[in-house]
Amino acid sequence: MGWRGGRGWYGRVLAAAVGVTAAAAATSVWTAQAGPIEGRHAPGAVAQSPSAAAPGPAMAAVSADIVHASDRGARGVNITIDDGPDPVWTPQVLQVLRENGVRATFCMVGTQARAHPDLVRSVVAAGHRLCDHTVSHDTAMDTKSQTYQSQQILDAQRMITEASGGVRPLYYRAPGGAFTPFSRRLAASHGMRPLGWNVDSKDFERPGTDTIVATVRNEVRNGPTILFHDAGGDRSQTVAALRQVLPWLRQQGYSFGFPVR
């Protein structure tokens, strides 16, 4: 989600997830399995999550710098899809991506992934990558304690990994861009590169398909990583916009890749 405005649907998600996060602090186990597919706190050592680490190989640490670049180089673009999976809209987004031969990065909310593991596995099976978008999509998490941030990030990583059947997220995107130095270091130490965006399609606001398309066309010069959504309400405009945007990007000489790791 590319903005910090009204919570809407996320207010309900956050309320439902508070109990999940609180219970997870005492009971959850962070699983560690490599995937087959490719702010306010003082600096210091990265604290461990209250969740116990499960036995198994740890993912290699990656850079804590927020990434925007594409692995396809200067004419590459990264399609990123936030806030799902959703049983109505994620299959439609997957269909459009399949029709256009595009692989994307899906930034998943932990509670959504846990509720729809079949969709998480469909995303992985289609060759897309996974990104941790926290347990409850709290856009104010940069104002919260390090313990809270750890729970949100690492418990979501566990939920997504379990839902996928063992494929772990390779990136971490803070809700609304609410990164902190601590959260970036924590995610990176667990093998998840902090992921930003250059183009916010503003599809979450449902401004109309034509407006979404125009925003992407006008702003793609700002950088390669483009933000869309597959949850949080009616995403029919997003689906329709992707049907226009993806062929247009290819016609302009762009190729589709993943954020660099």
Nearest to 157 by CA among 7, 1, 21: 21
Exactly one of 82, 155, 200, 230 is catalytic; name it. 82
The torsion angle over the Cα atoms of residues 69, 71, 74 and 79, rounded to 10 degrees, is -70
Q: Which residues contact 27 (CB under 8 A, 6 or more apart)?
A: none
Distance CA 97, CA 82 (A): 14
Residues 123/94, Cβ–Cβ less than 8 Å: yes
- Does the active-site annotation cover 82? yes
Neighbours of 46 (CB within 10 A): 18
Distance CA 2, CA 204 (A): 8
- Does the active-site annotation cover 68? no
Residues 96/245, Cβ–Cβ less than 8 Å: no
3-state DSSP assignment of residue 255: strand
Exactly one of 86, 229, 230, 234 is catalytic; name it. 229
Q: Which residues are catalytic?
A: 82, 229
